[in-house]
């Protein structure tokens, strides 16, 4: 069935129940209202920092947009871009696009004007729906698209180069548009994170989206009583596909516009959240704030919080050990996936396998996995190879890029570019990105292993390891180290700490600086390579190939 049928069923069954809540802590701080004062306000109160939407309203808003798009006579499968910050309108807009028979094309809110233009042109976008944060960026490129593009502005005081979304859509019917959809129809284009170069346009049919919902609900057992706290950006598969597990059963979701530890803990308490998906930096910040005494857990209602899970990047086992010390009753899971496999859940640890922390886990519900060599032959347990995935969540293709599609898809298998190994008892351990492997003096170094080791140092907030060119060894490992604000750390300290590593794994260069991460928590290694001269190495390697 198409993913839109789930929304229609929820509207019919649970129409008056709250589907979505938006919390905007910045509005609260503008009014100089403390979180303690906010806690006295009833959740149902209407205010500028809290708004909500029922399942019926959700469905009706989606229908209005779908009916509006149909008035524009867009062809079946036309592409409609979404360039919005997380907000209450985001998901109704997404589903309205799908209900019209068009394809949704979510865009990264961090994109520059040139990035936006690149992605819109690559995906052949016909309509762009954008918010007030992007007026300047869109205006700079509005006359440089490769095809006529309708611009719809979500907000007040519509700029002259766009059309007003609310006034146009509000007059349209809230009845279902009656467009016949199938699970095999293309539903969305997601862009790869760009951590390995220019983003690619990833095509997924409705079947992929429904599969993601079933996987998430199977792994984490969401019921209508669960409240899912959504913090990551909705343009990315990670946040939305985790929410799909609650969506499937009609559970409420809370959209929190901010990542400060106090905001997260207070929202969990005040909104009675039961499930929270975090990125590693946010989990670290919460733990640090608690340990510094900035957050007193006894001031909050947290007994209902049952699950904390993490994805998007390797998770240091030391982090989970700290978490379980402070939150011993929490279930924990880690989730592996990529946009080409409709986000998280292709591999997951499983809440029952806390004793295997450090592994990314076992094949997810409805997924198959293999670890293979360069000839796509299976490697033995314990050997490092490339992780491959197969299941209903595998992308259809890279849009307009047959060559790149053939490089990663073979007989239904998606070759991820991630290096992994499997233990004798069947658990998969992520080693590193294939393109991130450092070859120094003939030895393969896997940066993730070095990063995990360095994160055990209590003074280190974050770390990234990249290869830098070296005349004698070919390349060397360089560690970019971000020190915790209240700590001091010298090169000598790090060198002494690294004596526990084999000599060949010890970083040969130490750089104390901030570690850049994208909105989904992945380290932006291309940016680091450019900053510290590794692009020269990449160019040399490409010449050799």
User: What is the tally of structural domains in the chain?
Assistant: 1
Q: Which of 31-40, 239-248, 310-319 holds the top average pLDDT? A: 239-248
d(CA 360, CA 348): 6
Query: At what angle are helices 90-99 and 4-14 packed, to 10 degrees?
Result: 120
* Structure confidence at residue 538 (pLDDT): 46
Which has the closest alpha carbon to 392: 201, 213, 190? 213
**Cα 294 from chain centroid (whole Å):** 28
Q: What is the pLDDT of residue 544?
A: 36
Q: Is 68's pLDDT higher than 90?
A: yes
In a domain, 208, yes or no: no
312 vs 52, which has greater pLDDT? 52
Instruction: Quickly tell me which residue has 């709250």 as its tokens.
Output: 18
Q: Could you give phi then psi for residue 105, rounded to 5 degrees? A: -130, 85
Tens digit of each residue's pLDDT (9 = 90 or more) over 475-530: 899 999 999 988 999 999 999 999 988 787 899 999 999 998 876 667 888 788 88
Average pLDDT score, the chain = 89
In the three-class reduction of DSSP (H, G, I as helix; E, B as strand; rest coil), residue 255 is classed as: strand
Higher pLDDT among residues 538 and 392, named by residue: 392
Strand 307-311 relative to strand 331-338: parallel, antiparallel, unpaired? parallel
pLDDT of the residue at 537? 46
Across residues 94-116, what is the average pLDDT? 94
Residue 321 belongs to some domain of the structure: no
Among 523, 515, 22, residue whose Cα is nearest residue 263: 22
Helical segments of 387-465, H only: 402-408, 447-454
Residue 196 pLDDT greater than 60, yes or no: no
What local confidence, expressed as pLDDT, does residue 317 receive? Answer: 82
* Per-residue pLDDT band at 293 (split at 50, 70, 90): very high
Pairing of strands 163-164, 150-153: parallel
Whole-number pLDDT of residue 77: 94
Query: 232 and 258 in contact (C-beta within 8 Å)?
Result: no
Number of H helices, E strands in the chain: 18, 27
* Residue 235: partners with Cβ closer than 8 Å, 6 or more residues away: 82, 84, 106, 107, 108, 109
Least confident of 204-213, 252-261, 305-314: 305-314
Pick the range with the lowest mean pLDDT from 33-42, 81-90, 317-326, 361-370. 33-42
pLDDT category at 41 given cuts 50, 70, 90 is: low
Q: Edge-to-edge strand order for the sheet containing 460-470? A: 460-470, 474-483, 509-512
- Cα-Cα-Cα-Cα dihedral sign, residues 8, 12, 14, 16: positive
Instruction: Count the neighbouring beta carbons within 10 Å of the beta carbon of residue 530.
Output: 12
Structural domain of 496:
437-544
Average pLDDT over residues 154-178: 95
Q: How confident is the model at residue 542 (pLDDT cuts 50, 70, 90)?
A: very low
Between 12-26, 287-301, 310-324, 475-489, the lowest mean confidence (pLDDT) is in: 310-324
Domain membership of residue 510 (yes or no) is yes
Of 360, 353, 344, 416, which Cα lies nearest the Cα of 385? Answer: 416
What pLDDT band is residue 37 in, cutting at 50, 70 and 90? Answer: low
Most confident of 180-189, 328-337, 485-494: 180-189
* 518 occurs within a structural domain: yes
Which CA distances in Å does 534 have to 199, 311, 405, 451? 20, 27, 27, 18
Per-residue pLDDT reduced to its tens digit, 233-261: 999 888 899 999 999 999 999 999 999 99
Calculate mean pLDDT across residues 48-61.
93
Alpha carbons 457 and 450: distance in angstroms, whole number: 12
Q: What pLDDT is attached to residue 67? A: 98
Residue 79 within a domain = no
Is residue 357 within 8 Å of residue 313, measured between CB atoms? Answer: no
Alpha-carbon distance 398 to 117, whole Å?
Answer: 18
7 domain residue, yes or no: no
Confidence band for 192, pLDDT divided at 50, 70 and 90: confident
Answer for the pair 203, 190: CB distance below 8 angstroms, yes or no: no
Which of these ranges, 26-35, 156-165, 323-332, has the smallest mean pLDDT?
A: 26-35
What pLDDT is stored for residue 513 in this prediction?
94
The confidence score (pLDDT) of residue 157 equals 93
536 pLDDT above the threshold of 60: no
Output the domain CATH number for residue 454: 3.30.300.30
Q: What is the pLDDT at residue 47? A: 58
Q: Are residues 513 and 483 in contact, defined by beta-carbon separation less than 8 angstroms?
A: no
3 state SS for 183-196: CCCEEEEEECCCCC
Q: How confident is the model at residue 543 (pLDDT cuts 50, 70, 90)?
A: very low
In angstroms, the CA 327 to CA 263 distance is 18
- Give the span between the Cα atoms of 479 and 496, in whole angstroms: 14
pLDDT of 207: 97
The C-alpha atoms of residue 452 and residue 316 are separated, in whole angstroms, by: 6
Predicted local distance difference test score (pLDDT) of residue 197: 54
Range of 55-64, 140-149, 308-317, 475-484 with top mean pLDDT: 55-64
Query: Residue 97: inside a domain, yes or no?
Result: no
Give the E-state strand segments of 380-508 in sequence order: 385-391, 397-398, 409-410, 413-422, 428-433, 438-440, 443-445, 460-470, 474-483
Q: What is the DSSP letter of 36?
A: H
Residue 212 neighbours by CB distance under 10 Å: 32
Size of the chain, expressed as the number of residues it contains: 545
List, edge to edge, every strand of the sheet that includes 79-83. 163-164, 150-153, 125-130, 79-83, 103-106, 186-191, 201-205, 397-398
Q: pLDDT at position 539, please?
A: 46
**Beta carbons of 154 and 129 less than 8 angstroms apart:** yes
Task: Extract the tokens encoding 408.
Answer: 């990663």
Q: Which pLDDT does position 199 carry in this prediction?
A: 83
Residue among 327, 297, 290 at smallest CA distance from 310 = 327
Residue % of the chain over a pLDDT of 90 = 69
* Domain membership flag for residue 60: no
């Amino acid at each position: 069935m198409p993913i839109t049928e789930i929304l229609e069923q929820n509207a019919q069954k649970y129409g008056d129940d709250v589907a979505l809540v938006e919390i905007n802590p910045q509005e609260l701080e503008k009014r100089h209202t403390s979180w303690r004062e906010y806690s006295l306000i009833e959740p149902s109160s209407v205010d500028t920092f809290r708004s909500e939407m029922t399942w019926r309203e959700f469905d009706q808003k989606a229908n209005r947009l779908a009916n509006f798009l149909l008035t524009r006579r867009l062809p079946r499968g036309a592409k409609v871009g979404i360039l919005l910050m997380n907000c209450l309108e985001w998901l109704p807009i997404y589903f309205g696009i799908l209900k019209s028979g068009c394809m949704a094309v979510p865009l990264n809110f961090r994109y520059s004007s040139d990035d936006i233009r690149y992605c819109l042109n690559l995906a052949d976008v016909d309509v762009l729906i954008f918010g007030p944060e992007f007026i300047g960026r869109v205006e700079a490129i509005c006359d440089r698209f490769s095809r006529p593009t309708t611009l719809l502005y979500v907000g007040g005081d519509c700029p002259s180069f766009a059309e007003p979304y609310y006034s146009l859509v509000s007059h349209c019917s809230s009845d279902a548009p009656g467009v016949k959809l199938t699970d095999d129809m293309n539903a969305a284009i997601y862009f790869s994170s760009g951590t390995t170069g220019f983003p690619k346009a990833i095509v997924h049919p409705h079947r992929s989206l429904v599969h993601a919902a079933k996987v998430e609900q199977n792994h984490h057992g969401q019921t209508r009583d669960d409240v899912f706290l959504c913090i990551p950006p909705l343009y990315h598969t990670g946040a939305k596909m985790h929410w799909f597990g609650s969506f499937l059963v009609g559970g409420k979701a809370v959209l929190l516009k901010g990542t400060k530890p106090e905001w997260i803990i207070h929202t969990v308490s005040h909104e009675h959240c039961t499930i929270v998906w975090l990125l590693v930096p946010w989990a670290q910040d919460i733990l640090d704030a608690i340990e510094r005494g900035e957050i007193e857990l006894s001031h909050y209602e947290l007994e209902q919080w049952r699950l904390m899970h993490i994805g998007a990047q390797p998770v240091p086992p030391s982090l989970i050990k700290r978490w379980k010390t402070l939150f011993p009753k929490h279930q924990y899971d880690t989730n592996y996936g990529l946009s080409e496999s409709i986000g998280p859940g292709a591999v997951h640890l499983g809440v029952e396998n806390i004793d295997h922390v450090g592994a990314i886990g076992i094949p997810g519900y409805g997924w198959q996995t293999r670890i293979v060599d360069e000839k796509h032959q299976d490697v033995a347990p314990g050997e490092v190879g490339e992780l491959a995935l197969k299941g209903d969540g595998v992308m259809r293709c890279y849009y307009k890029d047959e060559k790149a599609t053939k490089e990663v898809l073979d007989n239904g298998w998606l070759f991820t570019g991630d290096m992994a190994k499997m233990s004798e008892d069947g658990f998969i351990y992520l080693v590193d990105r294939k393109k991130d492997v450092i070859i120094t003096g003939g030895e393969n170094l896997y940066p993730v292993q070095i990063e995990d080791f360095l994160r055990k140092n209590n003074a280190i907030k974050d770390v990234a390891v990249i290869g830098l060119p070296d005349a004698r060894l070919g390349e060397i490992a360089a560690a970019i180290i971000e020190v915790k604000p209240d700590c001091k750390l010298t090169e000598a300290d790090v060198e002494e700490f690294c004596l526990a590593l084999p000599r060949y794994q010890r970083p040969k260069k130490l750089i104390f600086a901030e570690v850049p991460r994208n909105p989904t928590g992945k380290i932006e290694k291309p940016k680091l390579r450019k900053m510290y001269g590794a692009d020269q190495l990449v160019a040399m390697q490409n010449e050799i190939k």
